[in-house]
Structure 1
């Protein structure tokens, strides 16, 4: 693990550490990898970015090199209306090493923003391709498809450690979105392009009490932020001062 001077290697308390739950995915076994996240004293979650990043890269490689070509993954992606990287008509990504020349046809369309990073450095040498997994995790969450089996099928054996923290955050973000605005605006926030609009929304699935309570606590912290109740005015600071008085 790298130790960079002045670099915060752990996310602050409040970063979600709720473990995803189960479900079936055709042809995929449940992950046997360790639980994502760990709890500090008092239940505050701990997140080490240097331990997480290699696992996330492993999930990216699995998704690009294997999962996107599996029949089950393609069926789920079609149902929730999201293109897999090899299906992109602008710089499709066929594996973890880089894109293929763009294709054209009746179903072709130009993406409104680039979905992958550069594939060569200043010397023209190939570099590992980067594709964000967040859009896929978000779409699985809001359509209720984020079961253990599906997550394993999309992201491989390291999914709990690699994309588990992102999955937890996106589940919480979905709760926040539903609490903030109405159905139409929630759907609008999760639509990507006219060709990849959200086909349906489902309430968050397989929710446990710990997840709701964690979201409630974080939501309260956000409400405090809206009222500028942060820093020395944070409710936790006020409560501690009252106990010491």
Structure 2
């Protein structure tokens, strides 16, 4: 099924209004390949991953991912039926080669943000030269999510939200690092929009929909609300 390109150029959760998901995706794939093929075997990356208590893909006890082209066989590989590729459920690479393996990078971005290690040099070390275009938008949003989490609940519940099971609990949390005024203003705007939705201030009742609207304050951020 083909999706209209324009439908992915609107209402993105990122600050950059020109964000295009089709332009972004090849850069994201480049970051995945770099992370799997190079970064996870790099000594400094392994040391930092150990310090912030998150397993790299090749370290997973079950189904470790060794590179962007190879993953381990599932436990008890024999007698499990045809492989996903043989069954037609996994796309082939170019010229019939092995398919590229894909993983989610969000757990690693979230852990770097929560522990205060999401510096540009570290992001480059984990995700390669294309990190700004590839994982930059996700990094930006995860920083905002971390601000929202801190505003929403207490330290204990925020920490629990950033734990990853008993073996990969986050060892510590740090306040968001290197925050700019622009980033704070963007977070305030999005937070106001979230609070407006909690009050069902959507569609025809959305803030700024014409006369008959007053202003009310949510957590220090002013939003409009329809007068009773």
| TM-score (structure 1 length as normaliser) | 0.75
CA contact (8 A) 1:137 1:146 kept: yes
Paired with 1:155 and 1:208, the residues of 2 have a C-alpha distance of 23
| Residue of structure 2 equivalent to 1:160 | 132
Residue of structure 1 in register with 2:7 after alignment: 8
Aligned residue pairs: how many? 199
CA RMSD of aligned residues (A): 2.3
CA distance in 1: counterparts of 2:10 and 2:131, whole angstroms: 19
Cα distance change of structure 1 residues 6 and 84 upon mapping to structure 2, 3 Å threshold: closer
The counterpart of 1:75, out of the listed 47, 55, 59, is 47
What residue in structure 2 maps to residue 237 of structure 1?
Answer: 209
83 and 10 in structure 1: CA distance in 2 versus 1, 3 angstrom threshold: same
- Flag structure 2 segments of 5+ consecutive residues without an equivalent: 76-82, 93-97, 215-228
Q: 1:238 to 1:187 in 2, by over 3 A?
A: farther
- Does the residue aligned with 2:167 lie in a helix, a strand or coil? helix
How many Å apart are 1:5 and its aligned residue? 3.6
SS in 2 for 1:197: coil
CA distance in 2, matches of 1:239, 1:209: 31
**Which residue does 1:228 correspond to in 2?**
200
> In the aligned structure 1, how far is the partner of 2:211 from the partner of 2:101?
48
For structure 1, list consecutive stretches of 5 or more residues without a partner in the other structure: 18-37, 39-44, 104-117
Any conservation in 2 of the 1:121–1:127 contact (CA below 8 Å)?
no
Residue pair 1:119, 1:128 contacting (<8 A) in 2 also: no
Aligned-pair CA distance for 1:9: 2.2
Q: Which whole-Å CA distance do the structure 2 matches of 1:87 and 1:202 have between them?
A: 26
Partner of 1:211: 183
Larger radius of gyration: 2
Q: Does the CA-based 8 Å contact 1:176-1:219 persist in structure 2? A: yes
Q: Tell me, in whole angstroms, the C-alpha distance in 1 between the residues paired with 2:212 and 2:30.
A: 43
Q: Match of 1:192, SS?
A: coil
How far the C-alpha of 1:192 sits from its partner, in A, is 0.6
After superposing on structure 2, the runs of 4+ consecutive aligned residues of structure 1 that deviate more than 3 Å are: 3-7, 123-126, 238-242
Q: Indicate whether 1:140 and 2:100 are aligned.
A: no
Deviation sequence 1:184-207 (CA, Å, 0-9, x none): 000011101100000000000000
TM-score relative to the length of structure 2: 0.81
Quick one: distance in 1 between partners of 2:87 and 2:118? 39
1:122 aligns with 2:95: no
Number of the residue aligned with 2:20: 48
Cross-structure match for 1:96: 68
Alpha-carbon displacement from aligned partner over 1:43-81 (angstroms, at most 9, x marks no partner): xx2210000000000000000000000011001101110
Corresponding residue SS for 1:146: coil
Give a deviation string over 1:65-116, Cα, whole Å, max 9, x none.
000000110011011100000000101001001312468xxxxxxxxxxxxx
Query: 1:183 aligned to 155, 180, 186, which one?
Result: 155
Q: Taking structure 1 as reference, are residues 239 and 206 closer, same or farther at Cα in structure 2, changes over 3 Å only?
A: farther
- Asked which structure has the greater RCO (Cα within 8 Å, sep 6+), the reply is 1
